[in-house]
Amino acid sequence: MKRLMLLLLFCTCMATKGQLRGRVIEKASGTALPGTILKLASAGTVLVSDAEGAFRFPAGAFSFPDTLTAQLTGYQTYSVIVNAGDSMLRVTLTPALQLKEVEVTYRSNGTELSTLNVMKTETLNERSLMKAACCNLSESFETNPSVDVSFSDAVSGSKQIQLLGLEGKYAQITKENMPYLRGLSNAYGLLFIPGTWIKSIQLGKGAGSVINGYESFTGQINTELQAPENTDKLFFNTYLNENGRNEYNLNLGHKLNDKVATVLMNHLSVNPLAQDMNHDGFVDIPTGQQVNISNKYSVFTGKGFEWQFGGSVLMDEREGGQLKKHHPDNFPLYRVSLRNNKWDVFSKSGYVIKRRPATSMGLQLSYTWHDQDNVFGLQTFSGQQKTVYANYIFESYLFTTNHKYKVGASYLNDNIQESYRLFRFNRNETATGVFGEYTFTWSTKLNLVVGWRADYHNYYGWFATPRLHLRYAPRENTIFRISAGRALRTANALMENTSVMVSSRQWLLEGSNWSLPYGLNPEVAWNYGGNFTQKFSINYREAYITLDVYRTDFQQQLVVDLEDPRSIRLYNLNGRSWSNNIQLEFNCEPRKRLFLKTAYRFVDAQMDYKQGLLEKPFTARQRGFINLMYETRNEQWQLDATVQYNGSKRLPNTSGNPDAYRLPERSPSFYNVLGQITYLAPLPRIKLHVYLGVENALNFKQTNPVLSSGSPFGSYFDGGMAWGPVYGRMLYAGLRLRIK
C-alpha cells in the first residue's frame, strides 16, 4: 500500500511538473478578473482566465524563459518574464486611465450572432421583438428569416411555427432552459407567453446539447423572461388592433435588498369583436380573453450560491366558429370553444465551488399542471397534464480550462389523460437519464463539443442520444461549424392535430403496438449539417453572410395522412422521410442607422405515405425575406419594414370531393408585408414609445379557407386546410412606458 501511495504521488508530481498556473486580480481591490486574455510569446499559446480569474498552461505549451502578456478591456496591458522556477503567478492588472464620462452607443438590428459559440446561436433581443406587435411568442418570429409562422387552421386563430422545414413540435422549445412546449401545450402554448415578458430568445439550429434532453430534432428555441435583478421598475404596454383586440401588460420590478430581487408580470388581453371579413359565415379570429400572471425571484448571496424561483398562472378562453347561417336548417350553429387553465412553479439554483476554479453545479426543478377543454361542433376534446422535471448539472475541467466537462442526471414525468370522440388515452410517461459533455477549446480557432446521454424510458426502454458539434475559425471572422445528433420523442397523436378536429374527417388510428402510447412507435431521427459565417465591413460598418445546410433524416415517424379528404389516418412510417434545408442570409448596415437583412431558403421535405413518396403538405419549398430598420439621427423615430415571400405549398388531395369543395394541388405563392413606425418621446428618466403598425399590408387572404362552410355538419366540412392568411390587413397601435 505504501508503495502504491508513493507511486500515485510520483505520478501526480510528474503530471503537474512544468505547468504554469496563476490568477489574475485587480491591483487595487484584489478581486478576480475573469475573461482576461493571456498569451505566451514563444509558442503563441492563448488562454482566457475563468470565472475566478484562474488560468493554467499545460506542460509543453512554453519554453523558459518566456513572456506572459495579459490583456483585458479597461485595464493596462501587463507583461512579465517567466523563468524556469516560476510555477504559480500572481497577475495584477491596473485600470486604464479613467475619463470623467464615457458614453458608448451600440446599435443593433435586434439579432445578435455569436462567432465564438461552438453552436450557431441567434439571439433575438428586445429590439427585435419591438419591430412588430409581438403580442406573444408565436408572433415574435415574424421578423426572423429562420422560423415560419402561419395559422394552424382557419377557425381557432392559433398559430404554428416551422424550423428547418418541419413543424414546431420537432424543435425543442424551452422556457429558461426548462421544458415548455410539450403535451397539451403543443397546440396553443405559443400563445401563452406574452411578448412583453420576453427578455431574449436564443435560436439554435440542428442537434442541441444533451444537457437539455433528447428531444431536439431541428434545433432549440429558448425563451428567457425578464430577470428580476436588472428589469425595469415599471414597464407598461397597451395594444389595440383593427379586430378590437386590446392588451394590457404591466411588469413591476423591485429589489427587496442587495441580495434579493423580484419581478411581477401581468397580462390581460381581450378580443371582443366577432368579425367575418371573408363572408363565409365563420368568425375569422375567435373572441375571448386571457389572464396571465407570473412572479419571479432572484437571490444572490455573494458567496457562490445563486437561486431563482417563481411561478405563473394562466386562464385562457376563446370562442369561435359559425357566426351566422347562409341557409336555414335544423342544425345548431357550429361552435368552437377553447379553454385552457394552467399553472407552474420552478426553481433554478447554482453553486460556484471557489476552491476549484471553473467548477460549479446547478439544479433545475419544475412542476406544471394543465387542464384543457375544447368543443368543435358536436365533438369535445378534454385533457389534463401533470409534468415533473428535474435536471442536475456538474461542471468542471480536466488539467486546464481548455478541457471542460459537464455531467449530470435528469428526470422527466408526463402524466397525461386525453379523451376525444371514442378515444380514451391515459399515459404516465417517465424518462430517467444520465449525460456527459466534453468541450475542447484551442485558442479561438477550434472548439469541439462531444455529448452523450443514456435514458431509460418506461415505454421504450434504454436508448442513447449522441451529439457532436465542431467549430473551426481559420481567421477571426471566418467560421465553419458542423453538427450531428440523434433525437427521440413521443408523438402526441391527438393534441398535435387539433387543426383536423375542425372538420368532419373520420379519425383512423392505426397503431401497431398498443403497449406504447397511442399504439405508435416513438419518433426517431438524425440531424446533421453545418453552416458557414463570414463577417466583413462595408463602409467601415459590420456585415456578415451566413450559409446553413441541414438534413433531418427520420428512422421512425408518425405519418399524419390527410390524402383522403374524408379521413385522417395516423400510422407508423414505413419507408423514408426527410427534410433538407438550405438558407443563405446577408446582413449589413449600408448607411449609418439603416440596417438590412435578407435571406433565401429552400426546403425539400418528403415522406413515404401509403400512396407513395409525397412532398410534405403545407410546407413552402422556397421562402424569401427582407427586413429594413432605420433610426433617425435624434433617435426619436424608428421605422421597420419586412417583406416575406412564401412559395407554393403542396395541399392534401381533395379530388374525392365534389367540384365546389376541391382545392388545387398547390397553393399560390404570395407576399406578406409588415411595417411599423415608433416614436420615442424625449422624456427625462422615462422611456415612452408610441407605435403604429400594419400586418399583411397587401391584404392577401386565402380564398375559401373553410371547405363546405355552409354545411359544417356535413361530410365535406373542413376548416383545417389553412395555407395562408385568413383575416387580411391588420392595423394596430400601442404604447410602451418604461421607468428604470
Residue 45 CA to residue 59 CA, distance in Å, equals 12
In the chain, which segments carry CATH 2.40.170.20?
Answer: 224-739
Contact 459, 516 (CB under 8 A): yes
> Which single residue is written with the C-alpha cell 456585415?
543
* pLDDT of 448 over the 50 cut: yes
In the chain, which segments carry CATH 2.60.40.1120?
Answer: 2-93
Residue 496 dihedral angles phi and psi, to the nearest 5°: -80, 0
Classify 134 in phi/psi space as left (phi over 0), alpha (psi -120 to 50) or beta: left
3-state secondary structure of 49: coil
Contact 633, 107 (CB under 8 A): no
pLDDT band for position 19 (50/70/90)?
A: low
Q: What is the pLDDT of residue 407?
A: 96
Mean pLDDT for the chain?
A: 88
**What's this model's pTM, rounded to 2 decimal places?**
0.82
Q: Which of 640, 630, 645, 643 is nearest to 673 (CA)?
A: 643
Q: What is the pLDDT of residue 36?
A: 86
**Number of neighbouring beta carbons within 10 Å of residue 1:** 5
Q: What is the CATH number of domain 2-93?
A: 2.60.40.1120
Q: What is the pLDDT of residue 64?
A: 63
* pLDDT of 144 over the 80 cut: yes
pLDDT band for position 75 (50/70/90)?
A: confident
Q: What is the pLDDT of residue 29?
A: 65
Residue 173 CA to residue 179 CA, distance in Å, equals 7
Q: Tens of pLDDT along 206-262?
A: 988 999 999 999 999 999 999 998 888 999 999 999 989 999 999 999 999 988 999
Query: Across the chain, how many H-helices and E-strands are there?
Result: 3, 42
Q: Tens of pLDDT along 350-381?
A: 998 877 778 899 999 999 999 999 999 999 99
Classify 378 in phi/psi space as left (phi over 0), alpha (psi -120 to 50) or beta: alpha
Q: Tens of pLDDT along 476-497?
A: 889 999 999 999 999 999 999 9
Of residues 43 and 177, the one with the higher pLDDT is 177
What's the gap between Cα 359 and its chain centre? 27
pLDDT band for position 103 (50/70/90)?
A: very low
Q: What is the pLDDT of residue 5?
A: 42
Q: Tens of pLDDT along 286-332?
A: 999 999 999 999 998 888 899 999 999 999 999 998 887 766 667 78
* pLDDT of 597 over the 50 cut: yes
Q: What is the CATH number of domain 224-739?
A: 2.40.170.20
> Which single residue is written with the C-alpha cell 401588460?
249
Candidate from 4-18, 55-69, 387-401, 683-697 with smallest mean pLDDT: 4-18
